[in-house]
Structure 1
Amino acid sequence: MNKQISVVIPVYNEEEVLESLFQRLFPAMDELKSTYEVIFINDGSKDKSLEILTKVHSKYPDKTVIIDFNKNYGQHMAIMAGFEQSSGEIVVTMDADLQNYPEDIGLLIDQVEQGHDVVGGVRVNRQDKKWRLLVSKLHNSLRLKLTGIDMVDEGCMLRAYTKDIVKQVIATEENSTFLPALAHSFAANPTDIDVRHAAREEGTSSYNLYKLIRYNFDFFANFSKAPLEFFTMLGLAVSTISFILFLYLIIQRFMHGPDAEGVFTLFALTFFFIGIVLMGLGIVGEYIGRIYEEVRKRPRFIIKKY
């Protein structure tokens, strides 16, 4: 029997917080007075997360679905697997670390029932480190300018989608994707609402500075050609400046003769231009790599068992 609500929760090394999550999540869902299922995706956890999830499935066999990956594929692929197994008319996503409040799920459901097909949570009084807040602010600004995707808080995983939006996301069959932005790009009537945000009480975040920088680059490579367009314009500008410099050095040579200092200037400029070319090749390589991943048509994830 199809459920009215599906809650999709990726789990990666969350053994310390899972029991607290269960104690708050199931009562919060029961209060909604709707049929529901909670889909937990064990994303290659190395701790006892799977063991704990198996126990909660034994306790709530009609309310829980357990998906076990054979290794870690990342948060967005875990959610995609949850989407594929969901049966709800409304699909809600949230993190397992309880920085999202399960009690706020009802706020999202209300907005969907009012006619919105995508509802994004906006974290009020975010309990994150200052450098993460700065990265998030810069990302949000660049995302709107480069992709036109207008989302208030992309990093908040407490979100709700209609079944039609979920089907469109699944149909893309992309190997590298960013689900909140992808779903938002399909939405006809999206909205955002304020939700609460708590500091992480147990465990540590899997997102360090490198992963956040990598996330931002991957995002723009997936939704925009701006990096390529930037280097096209930069290449044009550098070529123009190089031609002007060439004319200048030719004139200098005829007017003043050979100048040994000019050799060192040319070396510096050469190294600079080579650096730009290598960086440009790296960006082109990132795009080609994504094309390569898509045309191979390898499985996006492998599930050991449900």
Structure 2
Amino acid sequence: MTETLSIVIPVYKSSKSLSKLVEKLEDVCSTLPYNYEVIFINDSPYHTATNDALNRLVKEHKNVVHIRLTKNFGQQPATLCGLNHAKGDYILTMDDDLQHHPEDIEKLLALKTHDVVIAKFPKKKHNIFKNIGSKIKGLFDHWILGKPKHIKLSSYRLMSRSIAEKILSIKTPYPFIPALLFSVTDDIVNVEVSHHSRDEGRSSYTFFKLLKLFSNLIINNSSILLRVIGYLGFSSAFISVVFAIVILIKRFTQEYVLQGWTSLILSVLFFGGLTLFALGVIGEYLIRIVGTAESRPVYFVRQISRGED
């Protein structure tokens, strides 16, 4: 029985690159011993050019699926939507801008005996600020997710259907695909592929979107901030005890003079600020705990169009 490959592609305000992408995918997949489907998740449902391009592709290509969401939910929820609707024995995720070349799919499939195969790029075609940010995030991925240092992350990845099902079984209001992958398996490998310049427009990841993604990594996928608060609290308590001992010693060994107003104010400000910071972090955790308890879906589908319809 022929196995099936599902190719999941979140789309955000793209139109010109999509037709070329489908053509390249057809050229590659026609040479592979798999049935295949290309699932586009439209995360910009009210962008006319994107809607028109995807509707046209559905009419022209029988293997194309267009899933239109009700609003912009972000790349991570859109990817989960694609995983949930994929029918393949193997599921491949990639971007919509041709920075991930379809010609490299065969390299990922060559390692399909592993649970997850992630494309690694020797040199990324990003600006210097995004490359620096990527390196910093890589350090946090290692500290927080337990990612081995030799493993590089990207959205160009192949996973088995069983791994996708395990990921989908984890209910979180702030999903982060790499964290979900590392929570279900250690059998993750890299394969080196080339990274290309964007075929259209610029990245949709603004500074604030990257900051939100980073906060999801820090808060939703680790307890690192709670631990930091614990360490700060312990350190503050220790400093307070030392300071109190010093004051007492000076009180009994020196002539007492009413002084210390500055140190008193500084102490109040320091410990008051530390308390407010701790309350803010704890509040953020409580907000996300409430979101998880509500079991609120991370995306909603408006319409699904298939090539065979």
State the TM-score, normalized to the length of structure 1: 0.92
Matching residue's letter, 1:291: I
Matching residue's letter, 2:50: S
- Report the more deviating stretch, 179-188 or 93-102: 179-188
Within 2, Cα distance between the matches of 1:120 and 1:284? 34
Within 2, Cα distance between the matches of 1:169 and 1:32? 27
1:100-150 Cα shifts (integer Å, max 9, x gaps): 1111111111110xx111001111211112222222222222322233233
Give the unaligned 5+ runs of structure 2: 305-309
Question: Where does residue 68 of structure 1 map in the other structure?
Answer: 68
Q: How many residues align?
A: 301
Question: Where does residue 185 of structure 1 map in the other structure?
Answer: 183
Question: Does structure 1 conserve the Cα–Cα contact (< 8 Å) formed by 2:45 and 2:70?
Answer: no
Question: Where does residue 77 of structure 1 map in the other structure?
Answer: 77
Task: Kindly state the Cα deviation for residue 33 of structure 1 after the two structures are TM-superposed.
Answer: 3.7
Task: Kindly state the Cα deviation for residue 215 of structure 1 after the two structures are TM-superposed.
Answer: 1.7
Question: Where does residue 241 of structure 1 map in the other structure?
Answer: 239
Which secondary structure state, in structure 1, belongs to the residue aligned with residue 169 of structure 2? helix
Task: Kindly state the Cα deviation for residue 182 of structure 1 after the two structures are TM-superposed.
Answer: 1.1
Which secondary structure state, in structure 1, belongs to the residue aligned with residue 202 of structure 2? coil
Within 1, Cα distance between the matches of 2:144 and 2:171? 24
Question: Does structure 1 conserve the Cα–Cα contact (< 8 Å) formed by 2:2 and 2:34?
Answer: no
1:199-243 Cα shifts (integer Å, max 9, x gaps): 224212121233223322211222221211111011001111012
Matching residue's letter, 1:99: Q
Matching residue's letter, 1:67: I
TM alignment of 1:154-193, pairs within 5 A: 154=153, 156-193=154-191
TM alignment of 1:45-194, pairs within 5 A: 45-47=45-47, 48-61=49-62, 63-112=63-112, 115-150=113-148, 152-154=151-153, 156-194=154-192
State the TM-score, normalized to the length of structure 2: 0.91
Which secondary structure state, in structure 2, belongs to the residue aligned with residue 17 of structure 1? helix
Instruction: State the identity %.
Output: 30
Question: Where does residue 256 of structure 2 map in the other structure?
Answer: 257
Give the unaligned 5+ runs of structure 1: none
1:18-56 Cα shifts (integer Å, max 9, x gaps): 233223222222222421000100013442111110110
Matching residue's letter, 2:97: D
Which secondary structure state, in structure 1, belongs to the residue aligned with residue 121 of structure 2? strand
- Report the more deviating stretch, 1-10 or 67-76: 1-10
- Report the more deviating stretch, 221-230 or 93-102: 221-230
Within 1, Cα distance between the matches of 2:133 and 2:241? 38
Within 2, Cα distance between the matches of 1:2 and 1:50? 32
Question: Does structure 2 conserve the Cα–Cα contact (< 8 Å) formed by 1:3 and 1:87?
Answer: no
Question: Does structure 2 conserve the Cα–Cα contact (< 8 Å) formed by 1:11 and 1:45?
Answer: no
Within 1, Cα distance between the matches of 2:258 and 2:140? 45
Within 2, Cα distance between the matches of 1:24 and 1:174? 35
Question: Does structure 1 conserve the Cα–Cα contact (< 8 Å) formed by 2:69 and 2:300?
Answer: yes
1:230-287 Cα shifts (integer Å, max 9, x gaps): 1101100111101211222343345242344x21222122212222222222221222
Matching of residue 196 in structure 1 with residue 197 in structure 2: no
Question: Where does residue 307 of structure 2 map in the other structure?
Answer: none
- Report the more deviating stretch, 202-211 or 122-131: 202-211
Query: Structure with the greater relative contact order (CA < 8 A, sep ≥ 6): 1 or 2?
Result: 2
Matching residue's letter, 2:115: D
Task: Kindly state the Cα deviation for residue 64 of structure 1 after the two structures are TM-superposed.
Answer: 1.2
